[in-house]
Amino acid sequence: MVVPSLKLQDLIEEIRGAKTQAQEREVIQKECAHIRASFRDGDPLHRHRQLAKLLYVHMLGYPAHFGQMECLKLIASPRFTDKRVGYLGAMLLLDERQDAHLLITNSIKNDLSQGIQAVQGLALCTLSTMGSAEMCRDLATEVEKLLLQPSSYVRKKAVLTAVHMIRKVPELSNIFLPPCAQLLHERHHGILLGTITLITELCERSPAALKHFRKVVPQLVKILRTLVTTGYSTEHSISGVSDPFLQVRILHLLRILGRNHEESSETMNDLLAQVATNTDTSRNAGSAVLFETVLTIMDIRSAPGLRVLAINILGRFLLNNDKNIRYVALTSLLRMVQSDHSAVQRHRPTVVECLREPDASLSRRALELSLALVNSSNVRAMTQELQSFLESCPPDLRADCASGILLAAERFAPTKRWHIDTILRVLTTAGIYVQDDAVANLTQLIGGAQELHAYSVRRLYSALAEDISQQPLVQVAAWCIGEYGDLLLEGSCEETEPLQVEEEEVLALLEKVLQSHMSQPATRGYALTALMKLSTRLRGDSNRIRQVVSIYGSCLDVELQQRAVEYNTLFQKYDHMRAAILEKMPLVERGGSQVDGEAKESKEAQLSETALVSTEPQASKLLDLLDLLDGTSGDAQPPPPLDPSQGGALVHLLDLPGAPPPPPSIPNLRVFEREGLQLNLSFVRPSGTPALLLIMVTATNTSGADVTHFICQAAVPKSFQLQLQAPSGDTLPAQGGLPVTQLLRVLNPNKAPLRLKLRLTYNHFGQSVQEIFEVNNLPVETWQ
């Protein structure tokens, strides 16, 4: 005996009766088993009921794929009841990713061509919802025929189906373009709505269609005018506005047609003015129409008076009490901030007001708009507002706000000090939300502002003393204290309050950062390096620092351990070089601060590897220069091992076949002159080795005082290899005494353009001089 199947309502009752999720699952599984059995038995009478139940269960999230074939059977049935449920099932269960969906194409075709409009409507609806590209291609002609059907119900559905078809198969535009002109003459609003949508879709896809449809602008204007001027009509009006949906669609299409086209824009001007002034905005429908009008006015080539009117309308809306209106006003202003910047600027105060809204959607829009409105004249005020917003805004907006403020500060900072202050404030308020490069940017900025070193280090020290949890802030502060610790301790800075800082306090603070569980490994690295640097900056003894460093020599973190071990070695074996290695960093190129960190790493690596002493300081400082010259971050490779012995150079030269210089002789170059000290470069390209260039650096002294401790170092781009031979001496006696010479061997396998940077340090006239410069005017023969 066949058990009578439940009606849909009964099933729903049962499901609602279930008290727990598990009970509900049980009920549904039992019912699904029944449904599956019924499908298997092929019961035609109750199939629709079974499918209806299955669709309900599907909505609740349970699997229903076994109903797909039943949809097909129901669609093929002659009964309207069956078709109704079948098509609904097809829309919910089938989509273009299942192979079964193609099977309903034939049924749809039959249903489209038979006369009952309800059935045709169902078929069109399903086609427009889940029709795949193949289905659309097959059924395009059928739908085209239906565009001319007498029934307006079918026609309006056919038009929208055509839109879907064009989206799936753009080539079908050719079929659906011709009927549009005629469809525009319809009086039925549903058909008009669909036709406008169709024309909009066609115009957005093809410039040729756009040109074609510019002809209908006058007609659109007429339709819209009729809508606007007819009195209250019960048929399509919503809150007193006749068919606002159609009005909005027409305005949208006019916007597309009038964009960048003088003639069309002119045709629309009067109408737009009329709509803008006559629409009643006390209810939502009127506001919707007015907004669309404003967007259209701003987008086409409208008269200037009209544009002013439009912006003023938006300004009024910004002050409206209704939050929805304010939201849409902010969105519209955001769209025009690029094209009409000055006009939008006038509403800046109101926009900033909206920042204080408790509504998250509104404040997000206001934030985007505010960031777009920052310019050089209002940057101070705006940053103030944005910073107070940053303190109170919801967490998901913090990252955007912080990066927005930093970006604006970078673009429009009036002074360096203000810039540093701003970044500092952002880091203190929302440190964890800033992006990674903020630390690098700030260190680079501080490094470059020499006059602000004292100021920066004091402010950072105070900030750090208060709070050591914000990692970016701690990193920058540690770096700064390390670099400029001496400025922190000595004297006072006029720009900040007098701050008396003891050495012990500074060391204690850095140790606290090192030990805190809140500090990330990178932060600890910064702190440790800072401590090391302080060992040379501080006047007191460095025992405390030595202790800390040696403790970390057995730290579990490999990075810290390596640093600590190397610093330890520096204390023990290379103490005489400590000052030179840890001296202040020169100004970094953009993006180079990472490189500095790595340059220091490889410096230390070099130290631990080689045992040679005399050329080491030169080699390590060389790395600094090497990376400076390239200015790109990347792995800083250690330089090729140096050949310290002079003898080697001589031997090499003697190896060359024949001592005379190669045929093309390269002119000498005077590269430096200061108070009687001159530096000349002479170049030799040995003929046997085309990639090799020998540079002889000659320093002469024509002044009245001796030049002592003369050291010359050189750097070349990474693709080159450089060897510095030991100089002939380091003293240049006065009055044209014996010159100091030094040989540089440059290997240039890639024949890249040669760049050379020289660094000189010496004592002259009782002063120590340091000069760094790049050699210009290198003759091309040196590298070609």
Partner 1 sequence: MIKAILIFNNHGKPRLSKFYQPYSEDTQQQIIRETFHLVSKRDENVCNFLEGGLLIGGSDNKLIYRHYATLYFVFCVDSSESELGILDLIQVFVETLDKCFENVCELDLIFHVDKVHNILAEMVMGGMVLETNMNEIVTQIDAQNKLEKSEVRMESALGNEGRKHDHELCMMCSFHRLSFSITL
| Site track 117-136 with partner 1 (rule: CB under 8 A), x = hit | -x--x--xx--xxx------
The torsion defined by the Cα of 428, 434, 439 and 441, in degrees rounded to 10, comes to -110
Distance, CA of 270 to CA of 274 (rounded, Å): 6
Nearer to partner 1, 287 or 441 (CB): 287
Would you count residue 171 as binding partner 1 (CB under 8 A)?
Answer: no
Q: Does 56 bind partner 1 (CB under 8 A)?
A: yes
Which distant-in-sequence residues (6+ apart) come within 8 Å of 445 by Cβ?
Answer: 416, 419, 420, 423
Tokens at residue 328, please? 């849409």
Looking at residues 196 to 225 of the shown chain, list those that interact with partner 1 (rule: CB under 8 A): 197
What is the spatial order of strands in the sheet that 767-775 belongs to? Answer: 707-715, 756-764, 767-775
Sign of torsion, CA 476 479 481 484?
negative
Contact flags string 608-637 toward partner 1, x per CB under 8 A: ------------------------------
Point out which span in 91-99, 207-215, 265-273, 522-530 binds partner 1 (CB under 8 A): 91-99
Window 29-48: residues binding partner 1 (CB under 8 A): 43-45
Cα(17)–Cα(13) distance, integer angstroms: 6
- φ, ψ at 677 (rounded to 5°): -90, 130
Closest CB to partner 1 among 121 and 472? 121
Please select the residue that binds partner 1; options are 47, 155, 307, 326, rule is CB under 8 A.
326
411 binds partner 1 (CB under 8 A): no
Q: Please give the Cα distance from 454 to 709 (Å, whole number).
A: 31
Among positions 92-111, residues that touch partner 1 (CB under 8 A) are 92, 95-97
Among 157, 307, 533, 685, binds partner 1 (CB under 8 A): 157
Q: In sequence order, which ranges of 169-283 are alpha helices (DSSP H)?
A: 173-176, 179-183, 189-205, 207-213, 217-229, 244-258, 262-278
Site string for partner 1, 703-742 (x = CB under 8 A): ----------------------------------------
Query: 193, 246 in Cβ contact below 8 A?
Result: yes
Upper half-sphere CA count for residue 539 (Cβ side, 13 Å) = 6
| Of 67, 86, 194, 482, the one binding partner 1 by CB under 8 A | 194
Radius of gyration (Cα) for the chain, nearest Å? 40
| Binds partner 1 by CB under 8 A, chosen from 52, 254, 599, 714 | 52
Q: Could you give the C-alpha distances from 300 to 264, 297, 364, 511, 607, in angstroms and in order?
A: 9, 6, 28, 64, 69
Residues 248-277, one symbol each (x = binds partner 1 by CB under 8 A, - = not), give x---x-------------------------
- Residue 56 or 574 having the CB closest to partner 1: 56
Nearest to 424 by CA among 385, 382, 470, 389: 470
284 is a site residue for partner 1 (CB under 8 A): yes
The DSSP bridge pattern shows strands 669-674 and 707-715 to be unpaired
User: In terms of CB distance, is 10 or 541 closer to partner 1?
Assistant: 10
In the list 17, 23, 63, 668, the residue contacting partner 1 (rule: CB under 8 A) is: 63
| C-beta of 160 vs 582, nearer to partner 1 | 160
Indicate the residue among 128 and 529 with the shorter CB distance to partner 1.
Answer: 128
Contact pick of 213, 327, 389, 455 for partner 1 (by CB under 8 A): 327
How far CA 639 is from CA of 354, 436, 678, 681, in Å, comes to 58, 30, 28, 23
The only residue of 223, 285, 374, 744 in contact with partner 1, by rule CB under 8 A: 285
Nearest to 125 by CA among 137, 111, 114, 138: 111
238 binds partner 1 (CB under 8 A): yes
Token reading at 312 = 């003023």
- Cα dist from 168 to 171, 213, 456, 569, whole Å: 9, 22, 60, 71
- Sole binder of partner 1 in the list 320, 331, 721, 741 (CB under 8 A): 331
- Residue 125 C-beta: closest distance to partner 1, Å: 5
Which of residues 50, 279, 287, 782 is near partner 1 by CB under 8 A? 287
Shortest Cβ 199–partner 1 spacing (Å) = 13
Binding segment for partner 1 (CB under 8 A), chosen from 215-223, 318-326, 383-391, 667-675, is 318-326
241/237 Cα distance (integer angstroms): 5
Please choose, out of 52-60, 206-214, 474-482, 529-537, the segment that lies near partner 1 by the rule CB under 8 A. Answer: 52-60
**732 φ/ψ angles, rounded to the nearest 5 degrees:** -115, 105
Q: Count residues contacting partner 1 (CB under 8 A)?
A: 76
Tell me: does residue 164 bind partner 1 (CB under 8 A).
yes
Q: Closest distance between partner 1 and the C-beta of residue 778, in Å?
A: 51
Exposure class string for 6-35: b at 16+ Cβ within 10 A, else e: bebeebeebbeeeeeeeebeebbeebbebb
Which residue's CB is nearer to partner 1, number 116 or number 508? 116
Please tell me whether residue 80 binds partner 1 under the rule CB under 8 A. Answer: yes
Q: What is the DSSP track for 691-704? A: TEEEEEEEEEE-SS
Q: Does 368 bind partner 1 (CB under 8 A)?
A: no
Candidate ranges 191-199, 495-503, 647-655, 775-783; the one touching partner 1 (CB under 8 A): 191-199
Select the span of 88-96, 107-115, 618-626, 650-658 touching partner 1 (CB under 8 A). 88-96
- Does 150 participate in binding partner 1 (rule CB under 8 A)? no
